């Protein structure tokens, strides 16, 4: 016998999970709450609601219809937040273009997503001018301008953003439609091949918002609630800025959008606006903590969620000394993105600082509605003993259902009915996940697996090391051997023997295998990174592998 569906009276209204339903209550309940864009603009939630309606009306006037795609090329701004809501709420698809990709990659994403309109900041006009003759078909451009001056460009501009809003209807009514309608699309920043398109429905984004909000609000440490002041330091083009702008708007908190990321400017905003909750990748936090302005900035009320890469304990310790409530989070472009948070359980609140630090630097506990497993190649579950490694596979209501126009890779992503993250991890007895490496970055030497992330964390504990990365380099005897790349702090001196001796000490204590000590350590001025600040190990293997073999 099958499960029995509920019966609906003919007059009953089915309340779909649409993004517009995230906006109504905070605009009504907190109309005077502030949204700040750097040094350029302050507006209220009431103004936000009106500007969202005007933007949708203006775009409709340009010919945008349900199912069309509207792209954005901008720094983090109030305009971006308005597009987060207005575009999907009118039934169109929001494409957040990664402005840090190469012009050729940006061209690929524009054509592949079939963008109909592009909202473009004046600073990015040269990119579009470079690729204009290969954009298919010709797009309508809406200019985003902070200078007040008309830029010199050979591109045809259909409208200026504020003029478009002024012409829009403040009473625009957003339609009802299926909650399974596509709301957003963007492209992965992986290090193999062309960027892949992922996409998410209204239902997925609403459920992600509710689950993330409930997970973050339900703990004493790392809590995000209505009393906070929120400033993302993760680009809004990158997986909806981890989806937190939707959570912040739903809660009705004060929001700060910083524009271009300049450490001194970010610290000034934190101090001036009393920012209490942010999220970023480790490299951004390192930049902030290394800025001279840090000495005049009070961070004792700042909560920071770290993702995009493993958080080194040395960095977390440095942040904790400044009073920062820091913790890890985990997800990926394909997962909308959030899956887990590394927040302390109640019984851990009284632990000593070093013991707490170990938890904060783990990958985390799955948030509500996430089914997360670690499995062997045959999809068998691995023990939750903190030692047994397996690939992380997941199910939840907000995972991309495939790659855009790419059925082969879509099936590979979802083989066995679970989304395969490509990450290797362990789960301990408390239920905390710890990512030990990317499947493709694990160093396989003489039949053993060596975690590059573990070696990097130990290298970063050395007082003279500013940055570190470890990759596997082909070896005729062992298959692969680890190669360490190290950036030395200004004014410090260290050599390869000292680095190997440093790691040998951890091996002697049983913390790593002796086989994990790199045969070679190279000192470099900078370590290659992707457009979103992750270590680009594909480039490292290409750049340094041949040179040392």
Judge whether 282 lies within some domain.
no
pLDDT at 150 (0 to 100): 85
Of 200, 227, 262, the residue at which a domain comes to its end is 200
Sequence-separated (6 or more) residues with CB below 8 Å from residue 211: 338, 367, 368, 369, 370, 396, 398
Domain assignment of residue 387, yes or no: no
Q: What is the pLDDT of residues 299-333, one digit of tens each?
A: 999 999 999 888 989 999 999 999 999 999 999 99
> Helices 20-29 and 78-89, interaxial angle, to 10°?
130
Distance separating the N- and C-terminal Cα atoms of the chain: 65
pTM score, two decimals?
0.88
132 found inside a domain? yes
* The dihedral sign for the CA sequence 109, 232, 257, 218: positive
Average pLDDT over residues 129-140: 91
CB atoms within 10 A of CB 96: 25
pLDDT in tens, 328-355: 999 999 999 999 999 999 999 999 999 9
pLDDT of residue 395: 99
Which pLDDT value is given to residue 516?
A: 86
Residue 93 lies in a domain: yes
User: What CATH number does the domain containing 500 carry?
Assistant: 3.30.300.30
Task: Identify the residue whose tokens are 């295998």.
Answer: 513
Which residue among the candidates 123, 283, 293, 449 is catalytic per the annotation? 449
Based on the residue annotation, tell me whether 188 is a catalytic residue of this protein: yes
Beta bridge partners of 93: 69
- Count of domains in the chain? 2
Determine which one of 163, 411, 430, 444 is catalytic. 444
What is residue 468's three-state secondary structure?
strand
Domain housing 27:
20-200
Buried b (16+ CB within 10 A) or exposed e, 202-222: bbbbbbbbbbbbebbeebebb
How much is the pLDDT for 512? 83
In a domain, 307, yes or no: no
Q: Please name the residue that has the structure tokens 């509920």.
A: 6
Considering 176, 200, 224, which residue would you say is the last residue of a domain? 200
Of 200, 215, 250, the position where a domain reaches its end is: 200
Burial zone of 429 (CB within 10 Å; 0-12 exposed, 13-18 middle, 19+ buried):
exposed
Q: Locate tokens 């625009």: which residue?
A: 172
Q: What is the CATH number for 164?
A: 3.40.50.12780
Considering the candidates 188, 436, 445, 530, report the single residue annotated as catalytic: 188
In this predicted structure, the answer to whether residue 283 has a pLDDT above a threshold of 80 is: yes
Compute the average pLDDT of residues 214-226.
91
pLDDT of the residue at 270: 98
For the segment 286-299, what is each residue's pLDDT rounded down to a tens digit?
Answer: 999 999 999 999 99
Determine which one of 50, 82, 334, 467 is catalytic. Answer: 334
Other C-beta atoms within 10 Å of 133: how many?
Answer: 8
Catalytic, 444? Answer yes
Task: Tell me which of 457 and 97 has the higher pLDDT.
Answer: 97
pLDDT at 137: 79
Identify the pLDDT of residue 451. 86
């Amino acid at each position: 016998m099958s499960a029995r569906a509920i019966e609906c009276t003919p007059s009953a209204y089915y309340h779909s999970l649409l993004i517009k339903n995230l906006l109504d209550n905070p605009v009504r309940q907190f109309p005077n709450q502030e949204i700040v864009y750097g040094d350029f603009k302050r507006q209220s939630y009431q103004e936000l609601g009106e500007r969202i309606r005007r933007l949708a009306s203006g775009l409709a006037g340009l010919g945008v219809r349900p199912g069309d795609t509207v792209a954005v090329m901008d720094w983090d701004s109030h305009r971006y937040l308005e597009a987060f809501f207005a575009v999907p709420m009118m039934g169109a698809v929001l494409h957040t273009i990664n402005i840090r990709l190469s012009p050729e990659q940006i061209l690929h994403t524009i054509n592949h997503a079939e963008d109909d309109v592009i909202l473009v900041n004046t600073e990015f006009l040269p990119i579009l001018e470079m690729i204009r003759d290969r954009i298919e078909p010709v797009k309508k451009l809406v200019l985003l301008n902070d200078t007040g001056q008309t830029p010199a460009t050979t591109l045809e501009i259909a409208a200026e953003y504020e003029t478009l809003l002024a012409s829009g209807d403040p009473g625009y009514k957003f339609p009802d439609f299926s909650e399974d309608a596509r709301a957003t699309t963007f492209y992965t920043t992986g290090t193999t091949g062309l960027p892949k398109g992922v996409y998410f429905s209204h239902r997925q984004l609403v459920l992600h918002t509710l689950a993330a909000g409930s997970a973050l609000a339900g703990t004493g440490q790392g809590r995000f609630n209505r009393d906070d002041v929120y400033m993302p330091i993760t680009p809004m083009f990158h997986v909806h800025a981890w989806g937190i702008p939707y959570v912040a708007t739903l809660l009705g908190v004060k929001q700060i959008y910083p524009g271009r990321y300049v450490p001194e400017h970010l610290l000034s905003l934190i101090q001036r606006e009393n920012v209490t909750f942010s999220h970023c990748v480790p490299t951004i936090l390192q930049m902030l903590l290394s800025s001279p302005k840090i000495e005049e900035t009070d961070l004792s009320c700042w909560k920071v969620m770290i993702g995009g890469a493993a958080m080194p304990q040395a960095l977390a310790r440095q942040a904790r000394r400044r009073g920062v409530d820091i913790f890890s989070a985990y997800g990926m472009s394909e997962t909308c993105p959030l899956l887990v948070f590394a927040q302390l359980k109640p019984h851990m609140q009284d632990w000593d600082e070093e013991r707490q630090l170990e938890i904060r630097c783990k990958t985390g506990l799955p948030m509500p509605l996430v089914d997360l497993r670690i499995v062997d190649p045959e999809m068998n579950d691995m023990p939750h003993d903190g030692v047994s490694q397996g690939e992380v596979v997941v199910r939840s209501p907000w995972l991309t259902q495939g790659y855009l126009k790419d059925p082969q890779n879509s099936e590979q992503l979802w083989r066995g009915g679970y989304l395969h993250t490509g990450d290797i991890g362990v789960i301990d007895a408390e239920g905390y996940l710890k990512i030990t490496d990317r499947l493709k970055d694990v160093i396989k030497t003489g039949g053993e697996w060596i975690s590059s992330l573990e070696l990097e964390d130990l290298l970063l504990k050395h007082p003279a090391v500013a940055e570190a990365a470890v990759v596997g380099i082909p070896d005729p005897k062992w298959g692969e051997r680890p190669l360490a790349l190290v950036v030395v702090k200004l004014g410090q001196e260290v050599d390869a023997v000292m680095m190997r001796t440093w790691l040998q000490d951890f091996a002697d204590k049983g913390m790593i295998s002796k086989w994990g000590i790199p045969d070679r350590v190279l000192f470099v001025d900078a370590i290659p990174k992707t457009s979103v600040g992750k270590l680009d190990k594909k480039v490292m293997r290409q750049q340094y592998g041949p040179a040392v073999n």
